[in-house]
Amino acid sequence: MSDTSISDGSGRPATAAGAVALDLPGTAEGLDRYRASAWRWCAAGAAAVAAAVLIAVFADRFLRSFVPQLGTIGVLLLLVGAVVPLQARRMRRTLAARPWTAHTSVLLQSGARGAAVVLGGPGPDELLALTPWATRWRADLLDRPGSVLWWCGDPRTGGVLAPPDGTQLIWARPVRGRRARSIAARPQVKTLLTRPALPQPQSARGQEPVPFDPAPPTETLRRRPWWRGTFRWLLLMGLLLAALATVWIAAAENDPQVDLTVISERADGRCEVRWTDPFDGRTRTGPFHCHGNTGLLKGWDTGFVVSYPPFKGDLYDENLRGTAAVSTTDVVGLSGLALIAVGLVGGAIRIVRGRRLRNRPLPSFTIPRQERAPEPGPSLEAAAPQPPAPLSYAAYAAEAGLQARLRAAPPVKPAVPDRMHPGEPLTWWRVPTLRNATGIAPALWSLSYTGGVVVLALVTGVGTVASGPLVVGAVLGAFGLFRLWRAVTAGIPNARMLAAAATAPAPQVHRYALLYDGREDGPTLVLFPAGESVNAGESVDAGEAGEPDAGARPVGLLPLLPPGPVKDPWAGLPAPTGTVELRGWLDGLPLAVAWIDGCPYWPQNVYEDIAPADAQDLDTRFGLGPVAT
């Protein structure tokens, strides 16, 4: 076994390159988009807080029950909007100091400590394990088994990950200690060591990137102004919320007690009462929770009136039922205490880590076990190398085999409906993959929940249903209607077209290699001309088609939909190489369905022809282009 070390996983550009990651227009635009997203978060949070205040002041008692939930959501959105600019500044400092470097990668599934992305290269026996800081839908950008990712950063403080175009930026920090060593020992990670070197996006022409020790962090550390500290603002916000909750609690001690006249009463204790408002002298009526025993005089009871805004005038009983003031005070107070704790602890940790980081040496497991090569100077006489010839079927097949081993599971055939054979009529709703692709299932589940809440409210009364289920039902109802509209207008027609294409006559026979493409959401069939032993229109069995010629080039691409269930979408992938029968091209549309070993594999996009002039670009697209030396 080779001696593997967890290193910085970066390559320094030669002197002639003089480029950093931020020099790429796509990277600069992606950073601007990421920073601009803070305004969307802040706008959504401000709208939620403003709506909570307006509802608390002007709305009726039923709508006031939504104030705590709406206010909490608004505060959380504002916090996210405050953190995004800080993260964007950290990304800018990193992208302005280092170049992009391309690495082979593998994503390890989420566990107790979260997902981890492992990068290989650029030097031999080098690996870098990272933990991405991103939401689930953005972290899916890194879930490309066997794909290529770009990296720019320092192994001690973290860096930026991105797909090969460098436009979708995700911050990641290194995995250290025992977990880093356990990750490096996994079989999927060790397979990265056998992958060939990749062409670097920002290397000098004719020069190979050299592993290097990261620059001392003191070169980029600057004393930040006092108003840019995240934890001090969290501490200040926590103090304000705690002070507000304290004022409300003190004011609640002076809530006046009023006599109530019971107008009507139900068996469950709910009643309608009339009382005189102690603040403006008006006579008011409203719901109340009667005690069941109304005292010496039948038809009388007592309650309390809230004396502080925005809940001033709310009526509640001795068990604190009837107003949202108590729950709102609890939420505001606990949120303030939590923010105070986060501000104090986080600020202390930041100060201690900042002082230690200035003189902190590299951990032993992050230093490459090889000498640094001398940096070559610029050469004016170096001639531009000739572009390498496009790769053939053998190179694509070898890469497909390596990526199949990264999945660490043998291919399993997906479930095929009964009597499903090429050339026979097919109903789309009987095929699980097509049924899931329409998006009708999430729409029906969302609408079923909303329908259940509506039926419950109609049977028992709207006032008896908690506010949480009502809000969730409204949101899921809107989401379900939108998904149902998309399924009816686009999903179902597309599924019908695919079902018709799968049974089209006159199939085309090709050899294929199954590779992961960074531009798509799943695997892609790279198609090659079949050998002379199979002619178009003949039935295809495993091993019947001949091997392509030694110089065979790709002729087409067909990206696939996940064939497996939701819990394991890639469980039904075919073998990494083999023979495929393509059916489709109805009405001249480039829509084709792949049949491999008697099983259909459905496309997520149209068939793409590859011209001979585009073969070189295709090699680079799949990360197979050789590194210039």
> Residues 153, 155, 157, 159: what is their CA dihedral angle, to the nearest 10 degrees?
30
Sheet hosting strand 556-559, strand order edge to edge: 599-601, 592-596, 577-584, 508-516, 523-529, 556-559, 608-609
Give yes or no for residue 240 having a pLDDT over 80.
Answer: yes
pLDDT by residue (tens digit) across 399-409?
A: 888 777 766 55
pLDDT by residue (tens digit) across 349-382?
A: 777 766 655 544 444 334 333 344 444 444 434 4
Q: What is the mean pLDDT of residues 65-70?
A: 79
Looking at residue 543, its pLDDT comes to 44
CB 145 within 8 A of CB 137: no
Instruction: Kindly state the percentage of the chain with pLDDT values over 90.
Output: 0
Looking at residue 16, its pLDDT comes to 35
Q: What is the mean pLDDT of the chain?
A: 73
Q: What is the mean pLDDT of residues 545-574?
A: 74
Q: What is the mean pLDDT of residues 130-146?
A: 69
Report the alpha-carbon distance of residue 383 to residue 206 in Å, rounded.
9
Give yes or no for residue 417 having a pLDDT over 70.
Answer: no
DSSP letter for 491, please: I
The least confident of 54-58, 245-249, 302-306 is 54-58
More confident residue, 530 or 533: 530
Q: What residues does each domain of the chain span?
A: 5-223+359-366, 249-327, 393-398+504-621, 428-501
129 three-state secondary structure:
strand
Assign 423 a pLDDT band (cuts: 50, 70, 90).
low
Looking at residue 374, its pLDDT comes to 45
Give yes or no for residue 436 having a pLDDT over 70.
Answer: yes
Q: What is the mean pLDDT of residues 228-254?
A: 82
What distance lies between CA 316 and its chain's CA centroid? 44
Sheet hosting strand 300-305, strand order edge to edge: 283-289, 270-276, 257-265, 300-305, 315-316
3-class SS shares of the chain: helix, strand, coil, % to 5: 40, 20, 40
Looking at residue 422, its pLDDT comes to 64
Q: Which is nearest to 495 in space by CA: 560, 418, 431?
A: 431
Looking at residue 373, its pLDDT comes to 45
Residue with token string 């959380």: 76
Beta pairing, strands 592-596 & 508-516? unpaired
pLDDT by residue (tens digit) across 308-351?
A: 888 888 888 887 887 888 888 888 888 888 888 888 887 777 77
Looking at residue 607, its pLDDT comes to 87
pLDDT by residue (tens digit) across 535-558?
A: 433 444 444 555 656 567 888 888
Is 466 exposed, middle or buried, given 0-12, 13-18 or 19+ CB atoms closer than 10 A? exposed
Q: Which is nearest to 200 in space by CA: 107, 136, 121, 275?
A: 121
